[in-house]
Amino acid sequence: MCVKLIYLFCMVSLLGCKQPGNTTAGDVQEKVTAAPAFNADSAYACIEKQVAFGPRVPNTEAHRACAAYLASELKRFGAEVKVQEATLKAYDGTPLQAQNIIGSYNPGNKSRVLLFAHWDSRPYADHDPDPANHRTPVLAADDGGSGVGVLLEAARQFGLKNPGVGVDILFFDAEDYGTPEFHTGPYTENSWCLGSQFWAKNPHEPGYKADFGILLDMVGARNAVFFKESTSMRYAPAIVEKVWTTARNLGYGRYFINARGGGITDDHEYVIKGRNIPCIDIINYDPESENGFAPHWHTVNDSMANIDRETLKAVGQTVLEVVYNYDNRK
**Residue 265 engages ligand AHN in binding (rule: CB under 6 A):** yes
User: Taking contact as CB under 5 A, which single stretch among the options 28-36, 115-123, 179-187, 220-228 is the one that binds Zn ion?
Assistant: 115-123
Q: Which of 126, 176, 269, 286 binds ligand AHN (CB under 6 A)?
A: 176
- Look at residue 265 and give the partner it binds from Zn ion, ligand AHN, none, a contact being a CB closer than 5 to 8 Å depending on partner kind: ligand AHN
**Residue whose beta carbon is closest to ligand AHN:** 265
User: Taking contact as CB under 6 A, which single stretch among the options 81-89, 233-241, 263-271, 311-319 is the one that binds ligand AHN?
Assistant: 263-271
Asked whether 219 and 43 are in contact (CB, 8 A), the reply is: no
**Measured at the alpha carbon of residue 143, what is the angle toward residues 137 and 148, in degrees to the nearest 5?**
115
Rounded to the nearest whole angstrom, what is the least distance from the CB of residue 264 to ligand AHN in the complex? 5
User: Whose Cβ is closer to Zn ion: residue 112's or residue 122's?
Assistant: 122
- Dist. CA 72–CA 65, nearest whole Å: 11
Site for Zn ion in 218-257 (CB under 5 A): none
User: Whose Cβ is closer to Zn ion: residue 63's or residue 122's?
Assistant: 122
x-or-dash pattern for ligand AHN, window 193-222, by CB under 6 A?
------------------------x-----
Asked whether 169 and 115 are in contact (CB, 8 A), the reply is: yes
Q: Which of 128, 143, 168, 267 binds Zn ion (CB under 5 A)?
A: 143
Site for Zn ion in 253-292 (CB under 5 A): none
Rounded to the nearest whole angstrom, what is the least distance from the CB of residue 86 to ligand AHN in the complex? 20
Q: How many residues does the chain have?
A: 330
**Measured at the alpha carbon of residue 33, what is the angle toward residues 113 and 311, in degrees to the nearest 5?**
70
What are the backbone angles phi and psi of residue 208, rounded to the nearest 5°? -50, 135
Rounded to the nearest whole angstrom, what is the least distance from the CB of residue 143 to Zn ion in the complex? 4
**Residue 128 engages ligand AHN in binding (rule: CB under 6 A):** no
User: Which residues lie near ligand AHN (CB under 6 A)?
Assistant: 143, 176, 192, 217, 264-266
